[in-house]
Every structure is written in structure tokens, then in C-alpha cells.
Amino acid sequence: MEITPGLGIAEIGKILVDKNVISNAFYFDLYAKSSGLGSRFKPGNYIFSENMKYGEVVKILAEGPRKKKIYKIVIPEGFTVEQIAERLDKNTPINGGEFKRLALDIRGLGALNYYFLKDNQAGSLEGYLFPKTYSFLEEKTAEEVLRIMLDQFDEEIGKFDFGYAKEKGMSIHEIITIASLIEKEVSIPAEREVVAAVIYNRLKKGMSLQMCATVQYVLPERKQHLSNEDLKIDSPYNTYIYRGLPPGPICNPGLTSIRAALNPASVDYLYYVLTGSDGSHTFTNSYDEFIKAKKDAKNGQ
């Protein structure tokens, strides 16, 4: 907020109340005068938090505006908590290790009064750190940045109609988990709704999802190709050996993947194979055609 030259204590107090920095302009005026600092207020641009103590605000105004560095950080769709933590650690004063620890074990965060987390049994904020470009001041803590991202998710998720999810008896947590699978499995935007349909079709039939992206999530490092041993890793995130959805999202999906999870295509496909150099897939509801497409892709046909 800006304090322009010539403003009196009472006028400044009213502005601070309007901005929710303080709750009462009269008590602010009283404190500023009794402390002797009110006459030393300096004009300029200030950054305050909401619900500050009168003494803190008076002291800041008496010292004058300080230049504070603002960091801008881009979080792309599909980034995991670990990748976000690494980017923050490298490009901001935020401690990446602390950010990762809090995000992957929300017990250390205290109360999180977000309705969309009530069905989250994974104990992690993976999937709920909304991807976008963020700007924040240098003094922000890892926990404050996490809450900023959760607030953004709260704002974005309100744009969606969850009618399809309610019809299917699915929670927001399950929808975001499906969206994360789509985000990691799909390169071609037009295929998002189709892959969403494959997921729903396989779940309905009680088939294992068998998605490589879920195995990649539990590996120490991402691999170009998974080995047979990788597919045997005993983890609830391994959808080759555990049926149904993994316990939670495997990345933080963007709007288009969430939209696809809520609006799957009307197709009966059960399988897909990566066949195009551009990341496109061949889809089929026949296992024999799936095996053939797989062989053709392997042979470069």
C-alpha cells in the first residue's frame, strides 16, 4: 500500500483498516501518538500482512519503506513436490528440503482447513500445489509458500463442475489423482479426454491400470525405459501389481488435465500404446490389437 505525503495518523489508520492490516483506526491513532513515533511516519510504498499488531505497524511506518526483493517462480504443469522443492531451493531463499518435508507430510503443517483435502488419505500435498507463476517476498517461509499454492488451488478448483464425479461417487482426491495420471501420461492435448476414458473403463472392469508413470513416481530417479524388475516394485503406487487408483496424485496437474478427468471421452478403449514420435498413442479395446500395436511400435513400424 502507498502512504502519500501529507497524510495524518487518522487518515493512515483508516487506510490500514480498509486493507485489513489493523482492526481499529482509533486505537492505532492512540498508540502512534503515545509512542512518540507518529510524528516520524514516512511516505512511500509499504508491504504489510493482515491482522498485524499496532506496535509493528507503527515501527515500520516510522522507519520508512524498505526495499524488499520479490521472487518470481514458474511451476509447470506436471511438476512433483520434489521438483518444485528443487526449483525453489535453487532460485529463491526458500529451503527446498523444508518445503519438501512439509509438503509430503502434512502433519507438520497444523490446521489445513481446505474442503478439498478432507478425503486425502495420502498425507501429502502432492497434486494440490497448483502449477502457475508465483511472486512472493524474500521473507516468505516454506510453509507460507505452500499455503499460497493451496489458496491458488482453492481458487482454481472452484471453476469446475464436479457433477460427473458426484455421479460416479468419486471424491475430489480421486479426481485429482486421475488428473495427475493424465498429466504424466499424455503429451498430445487432444488425447487427454481419451486417456481419461481408458482409466475409467479399466477401473469399471476391475482391471489394473498398469501405468508406467505411477512406477516412475516411486523410483529414486526417472528412467527412459522401465525394466521388468521395476514393474515388480512393491508400492501402492505401482499400478501393475495393485488394482485401482494409487493412494494419491503422482504430480501436480494443470487445468486441462483436471478438466479431462471430469469430462472423459465417450469411447470404450481399454488400452493405448505410444506409437508416434510426437508422443501420440494408438488406442484400442482389443487386447490382440494392443499387443500388435506394441510389437509394431517396438519394430518401428
pLDDT tens-digit profile of 3-46? 999 999 999 999 999 999 999 999 999 999 999 999 999 998 88
The answer to whether residues 59 and 140 belong to one domain is no
- 263-266's contacts with Cβ under 8 Å and 24+ in sequence apart are 263/164, 263/193, 263/196, 264/164, 264/193, 264/194, 264/196, 264/197, 264/199, 264/200, 265/193, 265/194, 265/196, 265/197, 266/197
Is residue 198 domain-shared with residue 180, that is, in the same domain? yes
pLDDT at 301: 57
> Average pLDDT for residues 269-293, to the nearest whole number?
92
pLDDT band of 300, cuts 50, 70, 90? low
The pTM for the full model equals 0.79
Q: Which residues contact 246 (CB under 8 A, 6 or more apart)?
A: 177, 214, 217, 236, 237, 239
The domain total for the chain is 4
Q: Is the pLDDT of residue 272 over 60?
A: yes
Cβ count within 10 A of residue 245: 21
> Do 96 and 29 belong to one domain?
no
Same domain, 259 and 170: yes
- Same domain for 226 and 289? no
Last residue of a domain, one of 119, 136, 157: 157
Q: Are residues 53 and 38 in the same domain?
A: yes
Q: What is the mean pLDDT of residues 150-155?
A: 94
Same domain as 77, residue 127: yes
Judgement on whether residues 195 and 231 belong to the same structural domain of the protein: yes
The per-residue pLDDT for 66 is 78
The yes-or-no verdict on residue 259 having pLDDT over 90 is yes
Give the pLDDT of residue 206.
Answer: 96
* Pairing between β-strand 44-45 and β-strand 133-137 as defined by DSSP bridges: unpaired
| Structural domain harbouring 130 | 70-157
**Helix residue ranges per DSSP H, 105-191:** 142-157, 163-168, 172-185
Indicate whether 282 pLDDT > 80.
yes
CATH number for the domain that contains residue 103 = 3.30.1490.480
Average pLDDT, the chain: 92
pLDDT of residue 43: 93
Same domain, 203 and 281: no
Task: Answer yes or no: do 118 and 53 share one domain.
Answer: no
What pLDDT digit, counting tens, does each position of 211-222 carry? 999 999 999 888
Write the pLDDT tens digit of every residue in 61-120.
999 987 778 889 999 999 999 999 999 999 999 999 999 999 998 877 777 889 999 888
| Residue that terminates a domain, selected from 20, 43, 63 | 63
pLDDT (0 to 100) of residue 256: 97
Residues 222 and 280 in one domain: no
pLDDT in tens, 181-236: 999 999 999 999 999 999 999 999 999 999 999 999 999 888 888 888 999 999 99
Same domain, yes or no: 142 and 86? yes
Does position 250 have pLDDT exceeding 90, yes or no? yes
